[in-house]
Copies of this chain bind each other. A is one copy, B any other.
């Protein structure tokens, strides 16, 4: 089984400690640790959150996608830069924690309380307030999309 088949789900509340360390849910660690070097890549997410990919996910999906983007349009160039320049490979410490970069901590307004959610092939790290304030999907939209994913 490849690591890309692993799916991250669930929601977890943690706190950044005084040293700026962030715990990673133990349910997610197994997808990161053994054959996957215990490393993953953190960078800027879409809606003011921090995203974390297992390195294989990052390489196959993100890097591959970024390579496809034509760099003739300035819009694309800006996008590719903003994704890659803030991307950092991080490693779990002995207790399963990571260290966020100052930029990402600032970008996602992470102070002390942090909410981590699993989103299929990646992990998202949020300020709890921001996550709550994200506009909920309208019911019509939800129903439309539920045709694709039958609940």
Contact = CB atoms under 8 A, between A and B. Distances in A.
Interface of A: 7-11, 27, 41, 43, 46-47, 51, 59, 61-63, 65-69, 71, 74-89, 101, 103, 117-121, 124, 134-137, 141-142, 145, 148-151
A61 B76 CA distance: 17
A7 B119 CA distance: 25
Q: Is the interface of A mostly helix, strand, loop or mixed?
A: mixed
Contacts of A8: 84
Copies in the complex: 2
Given A11-B86, A69-B148, 14 more contacts: A7-B63, A7-B84, A9-B84, A9-B87, A46-B71, A46-B74, A47-B74, A47-B77, A61-B150, A65-B150, A66-B120, A78-B134, A81-B117, A84-B117
